[in-house]
Amino acid sequence: MPFRNLRMTSLRLALILGAGSALTASQLTAAAEWPKPIQTLEQQGLTIHGEFDAPGGLKGYAASVRGQAVAAYVTPDGEHAIVGTLIDAQGQDVSAEPLEQLVDGPKNAELWREMADHHWVRDGDADAPRVVYTFSDPNCPYCRKFWQDAQPWVESGEVQIRHLMVGILKADSLKKAAALLSADNPGGAIAEHYRTGAMPNNEGNDQSEQWVSDNTQTMRDGQLYATPVTFYQDGDGKIHKVMGAPTPDKLRAVMGSAAP
């Protein structure tokens, strides 16, 4: 397995931590339920969300850092922790499902509820049965690609995409997003912008800039730092997150079916 697949970008090699690192009494009290190596990781900035069973006598811990899910494994002696990707004989990441359940699942569900109450712009039929939320920056080429790739489902009436416009990529992102939101037909303006790059003949206003700022803050609160970030609900009601322009397989999962 290439090292680039490790979940922590700052830890390209598996990180081995001894249990002897010093912790203050208050820190130990706050994290008393975890083994000492996990307490050490927590003090180094990881958020520990829960534990899960792992092979080989290891104990798995689901964690996150800067919004990115990461797995840690405590050795059978309880004295060391390994941070990174653990694969089985078939090359499958054994932490994928636990991380989805313990880290991403609750956070995604909370964001889903928050996004519904924010200012979003619909692309598609209001009666379309499948709802997809996506954070979009007007300067983001991958947002444009996602918009283009999603059109067969949108035009079929099967999917509605709710764009939460943000301003994070360039200095003029906020102004552009606000201008799109203050257009007479914001949905049409966003579609034309992603189709041709054109901007409406208007400027944003205080209200539209506030909408963009609120959406951007929601992204930051959710520790999401790039666009697009897309959320969808599967048949079991679980909320999933896709970073960047979805691959063909991911796109079908987001849309809930093959292209119409």
Confidence (pLDDT) at 29: 40
C-alpha to C-alpha distances, 258 to 156, 232, 252, nearest whole angstrom:
12, 15, 5
Residue 102 lies in a domain: no
Q: Are residues 87 and 186 in the same domain?
A: no
Helix/strand/coil for 36 = helix
pTM of the prediction? 0.74
57, 80, 95 - which closes a domain? 95
Q: Are residues 161 and 205 in the same domain?
A: yes
Q: Quickly list DSSP for 200-246.
A: -SS---HHHHHHHHHHHHHHHHTT--SS-EEEEE-TTS-EEEEESSP
Decide: 64 and 58 in contact? Cβ < 8 Å: no
Q: Which residue has the tokens 């010093």?
A: 22
Confidence (pLDDT) at 68: 81
Q: Are residues 150 and 91 in the same domain?
A: no
In angstroms, the CA 56 to CA 213 distance is 48
Q: Are residues 122 and 47 in the same domain?
A: no
Confidence (pLDDT) at 135: 98
Residue 178 lies in a domain: yes
| 8-state DSSP, 155 | H
**Owning domain of residue 215:** 118-255
Q: Are residues 84 and 123 in the same domain?
A: no
CATH at 47: 3.10.450.70
Q: Are residues 89 and 124 in the same domain?
A: no
Of the candidates 143, 166, 142, the residue with the CA atom closest to the CA atom of residue 219: 166
Residue 109 lies in a domain: no
Residue 176 lies in a domain: yes
Q: Are residues 89 and 217 in the same domain?
A: no
The angle subtended at Cα 151 by Cα 215 and Cα 68, nearest 5°, is 40
Q: How many domains does the chain have?
A: 2
Q: Would you tell me how many other CB atoms lie within 10 Å of the CB of residue 258?
A: 10
42, 63, 95 - which closes a domain? 95
What radius of gyration, in Å, describes the C-alpha atoms of the chain?
A: 21
Helix/strand/coil for 174 = helix
| 8-state DSSP, 247 | P
Half-sphere exposure of 3 (CA within 13 A, CB side): 7
Confidence (pLDDT) at 33: 79
* Strand arrangement, sheet containing 121-123: 121-123, 159-165, 130-136, 229-233, 239-243
Q: Are residues 72 and 142 in the same domain?
A: no
Residues ≥6 apart with Cβ < 8 Å to 161: 122, 123, 124, 132, 133, 134, 147, 150, 154
**Tens digit of each residue's pLDDT, the chain (260 residues):** 333 333 333 333 333 334 333 333 433 444 457 899 999 999 999 999 999 999 999 999 999 987 788 999 999 999 999 999 999 999 999 998 899 889 888 889 999 999 999 999 999 999 999 999 999 999 999 999 999 999 999 999 999 999 999 999 999 999 999 999 999 999 999 999 999 999 999 999 999 999 999 999 999 998 898 999 999 999 999 999 999 999 999 999 999 999 99
